[in-house]
Amino acid sequence: MAGVIVLLPPSEGKTPAASGPVLDFDELSFPELTGARIEVLESLAEVSAEPDACQQLGVGLSLQDDVERNTQLTEIPCAPALETYTGVLYAALDAGSMRGKARERLSQVYVSSALFGILAASDPIPAYRLSMKTKLAAHGVLATWWKNRLTPVLDEEFAGQLILDCRSTEYRKSWPGPVEQVVTVSAVTEKDGKRKVVSHNAKHTRGELTGHLLRSRAALPETPEALLKAARRHYEAELTPATKRKPAELTIVLPG
Q: What pLDDT digit, counting tens, does each position of 156-203 carry?
A: 999 999 999 999 999 999 999 999 999 999 999 988 888 888 877 899
CA distance 76 to 69: 8
Confidence of residue 79 (pLDDT cuts 50, 70, 90): very high
What's the gap between Cα 228 and its chain centre? 21
CB 17 within 8 A of CB 127: yes
Of the candidate ranges 57-66, 155-164, 167-176, 219-228, the one whose mean pLDDT is the lowest: 57-66
Of the candidate ranges 56-60, 75-79, 99-103, 143-147, the one whose mean pLDDT is the lowest: 56-60
pLDDT at position 53 is 94
Alpha helices (H) in the chain, listed in sequence order: 34-48, 53-57, 64-69, 81-84, 88-93, 100-104, 142-157, 169-172, 200-215, 224-231
Dihedral, CA of residue 224, residue 226, residue 228 and residue 231, to nearest 10: -130
CB 213 within 8 A of CB 234: no
pLDDT at position 75 is 97
pLDDT at position 193 is 83
User: What percent of the chain lies above the pLDDT cut of 90?
Assistant: 91
Length of the chain: 256
pLDDT at position 138 is 86
Q: Output the pTM of the full model.
A: 0.96
pLDDT at position 1 is 59
Of the candidate ranges 53-57, 188-192, 216-220, the one whose mean pLDDT is the lowest: 188-192
Q: What is the mean pLDDT of the chain?
A: 96
Give the mean model confidence (pLDDT) for residues 120-124: 99
